[in-house]
Chains A and B, each alone.
Chain A
């Protein structure tokens, strides 16, 4: 008598379970996910101290400073995206599991964005106030960050997977990723700038959305391919 094969769990269930697990792990290590957030606040606070408190100057540099700070903060949290799972072997289990690795990668990246991207978005209006931004500029800044930070997470996933277990991975990761993030930065800050000048930011927001769609379509696939290389 042949044993019936165990039922294959639905990939949706696997994704949801992985998302819950990652979020729970992050909640148990609050200092790690709060670290990137404090880094964001600190970097943003350094600029007025270094440049001077004139509201006109701050209003001019505010969107750019906050975007660059968000970019650097999201780089900072990438190191542990796959590192822990790689070390304790659960990454290999994910690669071997019945659910496609690309789907699991999407869940991991989603968790990563919820932990390190979304707080930046929610905090950005508060920091924008410190830079004397007008209310509509604040809203636009939060909107562009809301569209842009998932792109940073998706691109970051590729970089983190490629440099997994490589010597000097952290610096290498920034060297690889920062050039790729330039379009997001340009259109993110461009949208806020256009909004402040009264030109309408629709074109910039559309391009940002296009970047989000393109990276959502290709990013998880490239990330999963890079993870398979790291596991070979």
Chain B
């Protein structure tokens, strides 16, 4: 089957190498457009003044932080069901980006909270659950790097990711379960958005850009992971970049 053609690491290595630069380039263009729309074109908010502009970073980053965990859960299911070698590597490649974005979400949220709520941190449901999400990412990374045997490490990581994925819906619904300080979601698919369309398109552009960034970085990282794990395989020894590196080392 064509789909499983890329489940083999050496095919995927080539595919990832071909896709990643394009995704990164497209992501940069969209990010520039989104930032321009958000910071130059969009008007300042009636209530929040200029400080609201952090949503162009904060909201996409928070979305992606949650989405990447779901992507990890998806790859984990795939890995546990089909026993594909790539799934564990993809999960592992996504985790650092997810942790970074969760951290950025907390950081930008704190910067926004100081002028708006008068405090950097409140024990609000959404803030707390984003913190827990960050811990879930860190737990995953810690576990997979503590187990040296690749197969056990991949599958143990998949189990942790799946168990933790139960937490992601709780994060989402926590807004409704605990009625606290964080403002309700401003964007919804069923109602017409309560934001000006310039602001909305700026935010959506940034989200798309971040999506592409996350994909590009994950693909770059998975290439390194493939090389590290398959370093004794014949196809790695014959890669042009490996041969070039070896020739350079022999020359010096």
Contacts and interface: CB of A to CB of B under 8 A. Distances in A.
A61 interface: no
Contact of B163 (A172, A183, A222): A222
Interface stretch (B55-63, B153-161, B204-212, B215-223): B153-161
A167 B146 contact: yes
B46 to A, nearest CB: 36
Contact of B164 (A166, A178, A180): A180
Contacts of B142: 172, 175-176
A163 interface: yes
Interface stretch (B106-114, B130-138, B181-189, B239-247): B130-138
Interface string B93-137: 000000000000000000000000000000000001000100110
Kindly name the residue among B128, B143, B163, B164 whose own CB sees the greatest number of chain A CB atoms within 10 A.
B163
B146 A168 contact: yes
Contacts of A163: 143, 146
Contacts of B151: 232
B170 A183 contact: yes
B132 A182 contact: yes
Given A166-B146, A172-B142, A180 B152 contact: no
A146 B143 CA distance: 30
A172 B143 contact: yes
B163 A180 contact: yes
Kindly name the residue among B139, B147, B149 whose own CB sees the greatest number of chain A CB atoms within 10 A.
B139
A176 B162 CA distance: 12
Contact of A179 (B135, B149, B155, B159): B135
A226 B147 CA distance: 13
Interface residues of B, number: 23
A78 interface: no
A145 B143 CA distance: 29
Interface string A142-170: 00000000000001001000110011100
A230 B132 CA distance: 26
A27 interface: no
A162 B156 contact: yes
Contact of B135 (A155, A162, A168, A175): A175
A229 interface: yes
B83 to A, nearest CB: 13
A208 to B, nearest CB: 13
Interface string A209-232: 000001000100010011001101
Contacts of B149: 232
Kindly name the residue among B135, B138, B156 whose own CB sees the greatest number of chain A CB atoms within 10 A.
B156
Contacts of B136: 179-180
B147 A166 contact: yes
Contact of A226 (B146, B159, B166): B159
Contacts of B160: 162, 176
A116 B164 CA distance: 25
Contacts of A222: 159, 162-163
A176 B167 CA distance: 13
B138 A162 contact: no
A162 B167 contact: no
Contacts of A176: 139, 142-143, 160
A158 B152 contact: no
5 contacts: A162-B143, A166-B147, A172-B146, A232-B151, A232-B152
Given A180-B164, A229-B152, 7 more contacts: A158-B163, A162-B160, A168-B146, A175-B138, A176-B142, A183-B167, A229-B156
Closest 9 CB pairs of A and B: A179-B135, A176-B139, A179-B132, A229-B152, A175-B139, A162-B156, A166-B146, A229-B155, A179-B136
